[in-house]
């Protein structure tokens, strides 16, 4: 359903998709899984952006990173500091 809606707004078949996850880190794995299953661009590239802090401690951060890494290649994942990366993300969008 979301994939169809996104496709309606894409001008070219090889358009790019960037998902900025402004969500609690606890839902990143579920959301990433749904993006992977339902919203991957078939011809263009798909990327996700996640904000730090990433997890509540080192152990949870490593677990989240591993879970997301099982779904996306490292080149598809941007991990940014909300404040330090704000200008960069605005330039991406």
Higher-scoring residue by pLDDT: 30, 83: 30
- Which CATH number is correct for 21-92, 2.40.128.630, 2.40.50.180, 2.40.370.10, 3.40.50.720? 3.40.50.720
* Every domain of the chain and the residues it spans: 21-92
Contact (CB, 8 A) for 75 and 67: no
- The model's pTM: 0.77
pLDDT(84) > 70: no
Model confidence at 4, pLDDT cuts 50, 70, 90, reads: confident
What pLDDT, on a 0 to 100 scale, did the predictor assign at position 69?
Answer: 95
Sign of CA dihedral 65, 66, 68, 72: positive
Based on the number of CB atoms within 10 Å of its own CB, is 57 exposed (0-12), middle (13-18) or buried (19 or more)? exposed
β-strand pairing of 77-81 with 46-52: parallel
């Amino acid at each position: 359903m979301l994939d169809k809606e996104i496709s309606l707004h894409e001008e070219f078949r090889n358009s790019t998709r960037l998902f900025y996850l402004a969500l609690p880190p606890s839902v990143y794995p579920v959301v990433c899984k749904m993006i992977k299953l339902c919203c991957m661009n078939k011809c263009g590239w798909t990327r996700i952006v996640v904000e730090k802090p990433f997890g509540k401690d080192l152990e949870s951060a490593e677990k989240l990173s591993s879970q997301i890494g099982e779904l996306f290649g490292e080149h598809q994942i941007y991990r940014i500091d909300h404040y330090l990366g704000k200008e960069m993300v605005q330039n991406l969008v």
